[in-house]
Amino acid sequence: MANERFLIEGEFGEITIPKTDFISLAVETDDELASLFRLRLALSPESDGNWRYLDDERFGIWRRLSFRAGLGNAIEDLMTGYITHVKPDFSWDRSNCSVEIWGWTPVFSWIGKRS
């Protein structure tokens, strides 16, 4: 049975996220409209007082992310987009904190077209 593979690449190379931090990912692709992504990660404070992922420059606004997935060695590009929102969700219980990172692929194909 082939293993599922999932890769996230940013402007600084491949981004490794521990399975324990990965909560969810939704990718919506479209040939005519903008493709969207929504990535939710567990958020935890580091020993230096910064919050993992929230203070990470790889997940800054307007940073580029690429998503690829597949089975075994057959990997397909899902989308490449730009981060437009970073929304933390803090809880009194620090084990329930998360950050939602979402963005889109700009579509410029409509420029100059008339109906």
Domain boundaries, the chain: 4-104
Beta bridge partners of 68: 7, 77
The predicted pLDDT at position 86 comes to 96
The predicted pLDDT at position 92 comes to 85
The predicted pLDDT at position 13 comes to 94
Torsion of CA 17, 20, 26, 27, to 10 degrees: 20
Low-confidence ranges of the chain (pLDDT < 70): 1, 107-115
The predicted pLDDT at position 8 comes to 94
Cα separation, 9 vs 69, in Å, equals 11
CATH superfamily of 4-104: Baseplate protein-like domain - beta roll fold (2.30.300.10)
The predicted pLDDT at position 110 comes to 46
Phi, psi of 110 (to 5 degrees): -80, -15
The predicted pLDDT at position 94 comes to 78
Torsion of CA 59, 98, 15, 81, to 10 degrees: -50
**Residue in 79, 71, 75 with CA at minimum distance from that of residue 103:** 79
The predicted pLDDT at position 66 comes to 95
Cα separation, 59 vs 63, in Å, equals 6
